[in-house]
A and B are shown apart, each in its own frame.
Chain A
């Protein structure tokens, strides 16, 4: 069930330069949503921006949900001006969630930069269900971490930064590969589930470097410019193998797809 809900903004703050976190009270959507889904946000009642903005649902605590975004244009910039107490109209929850693999022996979550928020939601879901889970995050440096400096999660997850800056220095695929190799050694690779979200560079690197065909499950959540968010306009097509056509819609067929099946735009 999808809802059009006027959600009340509880807090809105800049957690890193240009990266914002907003909590909203949205009881209907919070009750219906699952990790991997998103909301389509009406940024302003005016005609600018014309379209809603799709944002992954980050943490869900009770009747409140978190949205995290980087300012990249008019719509995301306007969201930074929204004050607590104001309502934003949300359409959601939208899209297909991650497969919540409860029978896996291990769950490896891999986020790249702003790809982290939906994985935080998934991470907390697994933790609540007492299921073993590791969350990896890859960033350029500290300024790209989509968590506030006082966020307890900062000390729970495995962070790899290209610049180092006190974290493991390098690419996030390196510790992920090490963990998968260890799982292979103890014979549990085939019962491991991998979930990822991040820029195409990360998606391609995971496709190339990890033995995803040997895993129990390997999924990726994609983003794409969207019109309607519900499969009406067919604007958010991506190239995905295994469907009736070469294309699938990020908004309604996805955003979660099998890692091995997706192709970057323009590369068939």
Chain B
């Protein structure tokens, strides 16, 4: 094999280097070990764990999930084992290998974010944190942290003081201007931003007149949200200087390339992993093929390479 036969997929997001741009999205890859029997974790550049809170969370009442084909509506409610058990029992197993372990953190108040990160600082090998400030399925905290840019900035700044590790914030599309949240994250000291989280959605049974989720509304994900996600990434690309991780409906290598063209430096694969936990390996192979065929020397040259005649048409805050 010559060097050109195996193109280098590596990307750099500030202080975080990934051997490829493919990350598993939070909530879609468990704590990191669940798919070990059937999928090689190292096919991923990294993975974001299920969101970890200070105390264990039980999640929402069932039913929590319904397919709205080809999308998925969920109201899991961040069910998780809590930071203590995660740090002691799970984290040591996921920091091995070349796939970077990034821990998602979701809490009800700012102090808890600081406390969870402080506790995780003792676990060697964690590559960074994704602050989940955009979950639509919890009553306290969640999306509320993202809807107010002042709170976003303060939260990031407070966590920034607790760690030298890489930090990204996960942003919601359920606000007028996602770039406000991105700018606030940047101002607070985030190394990157991740977007988008799920869109608020709803499904109803016409016959029984009942909602299909116990929480009535939930978060919509999967292939149908890709156009929304691309638009949000493009908006944020025109607003901030820190790297962007694109998320939303990715199912193949072309989706990855498109996200990078509109401004992403890396991507997260989410809902599609449920159908095929080996998808990242396939996409990585397809991306190498694409780079060979198109003469792309480095994936980073794609980032923000969208060709437009009229420039950004989206509202970018001055």
Residues of A202-248 at the interface with B, using a CB-CB cut-off of 8 Å, are 224-239, 244-247
- Does A227 lie within 8 Å of B74, measured CB to CB? yes
Among B163-186, those with CB < 8 Å from A are: none
Which A187-215 residues sit within 8 Å CB-CB of chain B?
none
B271 touches A50 (CB 8 A): yes
Output the least CB separation between B100 and chain A (Å).
Answer: 19
List the one stretch of A1-9, A134-142, A144-152, A169-177 in contact with chain B.
Answer: A1-9
Query: Which of A18-26, A41-49, A79-87 contacts its partner?
Result: A41-49
Across-interface contacts of A62 in B (CB, < 8 A): none
Given A47-B70, A230-B35, A225 and B223 contact (CB-CB distance below 8 Å): no
Contact residues in B for A234 (Cβ distance below 8 Å)? 50, 59, 64, 76, 79
Shortest CB-to-CB span from B137 to chain A, Å, is 11
Give Cα A244 to B80, complex, Å: 11
Distance in angstroms between the alpha carbons of A229 and B20 in the assembled complex = 27
Are the CB atoms of A239 and B27 closer together than 8 Å? no
Tell yes or no: A266 within 8 A of B by CB.
Answer: yes
Instruction: Indicate if the CB atoms of B65 and A236 lie closer than 8 Å.
Output: yes
Q: Are A74 and B275 in contact (CB under 8 A)?
A: no
Q: Is A131 an interface residue (CB 8 A)?
A: no
Given contacts A3-B38, A50-B72, A91-B38, contact A232 B274 (CB under 8 A): yes
Question: Which chain A residues border B223 with CB–CB below 8 Å?
Answer: 47, 50
CA distance A224 to B59 in the complex (A): 16
Q: Which residue of B lies closest to A46 (CB)?
A: B70
Contact of B63 among A47, A231, A233, A265 (CB under 8 A): A265
Given the interface contacts A42-B275, A232-B28, A237-B62, does A47 sit within 8 Å of B72 by beta carbon?
no
Considering the chains assembled together, what is the distance between the CA atoms of A239 and B35 in angstroms? 25
Q: Is the CB of B274 within 8 A of A228?
A: yes
Q: Which residues of B contact A48 (CB under 8 A)?
A: 69-70
Docked pose: A234 CA to B275 CA in angstroms: 15
Chain B residues lying within 8 Å of A4, measured Cβ to Cβ, are: 38-39, 277-278
* A32 → B minimal CB distance (Å): 10
Docked complex Cα distance between A230 and B275 (Å): 11
B234 interface contact, C-beta 8 A = no
Main secondary structure of the interface of A (DSSP, over half): loop
A236 to B79, CA, bound (A): 12
Question: Complex Cα distance A244/B82, Å?
Answer: 12
Given A233-B65, A265-B62, verify A49-B72 contact (CB < 8 Å): no
A265 to B66, CA, bound (A): 14
Contact in complex: A51, B58 (CB < 8 Å): no
Q: Is the CB of A232 within 8 A of B29?
A: yes
**Contact yes or no, B56 A245, CB < 8 A:** yes
Judged by a CB distance under 8 angstroms, whether B309 is at the interface is no
Contact A247 B274 (CB under 8 A): no
With A42-B276, A224-B63 in contact, is A245–B79 under 8 Å at CB? yes
CB distance from B8 to the nearest CB of A (A): 28
Query: Does A106 belong to the interface (CB within 8 Å)?
Result: no
Q: What 1/0 mask marks residues of chain B from 195 to 223 whose CB sits below 8 Å from any chain A CB? A: 00000000000000000001000000011
**Closest Cβ neighbor of B63 among chain A residues:** A265
Contact B72 A51, beta carbon cutoff 8 Å: yes
| A52 interface contact, C-beta 8 A | yes
B304 cross-chain contacts in A, Cβ below 8 A? none
Complex Cα distance A42/B273, Å?
Answer: 12
Extra contacts besides A2-B38, A247-B59, A265-B62 (17): CB < 8 Å: A42-B276, A48-B70, A49-B69, A50-B222, A51-B72, A51-B275, A52-B274, A225-B66, A227-B74, A234-B64, A234-B76, A236-B62, A244-B56, A247-B62, A265-B63, A265-B214, A266-B61
The 7 closest A-B pairs by CB, nearest first: A235-B65, A232-B30, A245-B58, A2-B37, A47-B70, A50-B70, A228-B274
Q: Which residues of A contact B (CB under 8 A)?
A: 1-4, 42, 47-52, 74, 91, 224-239, 244-247, 265-266, 268
Can you give 23 contacting A-B residue pairs, CB < 8 Å?
Answer: A2-B37, A4-B38, A4-B39, A4-B277, A4-B278, A49-B70, A50-B67, A50-B223, A52-B275, A225-B65, A227-B74, A229-B274, A232-B27, A234-B59, A234-B64, A236-B64, A237-B59, A239-B62, A245-B58, A246-B58, A247-B79, A265-B61, A265-B214
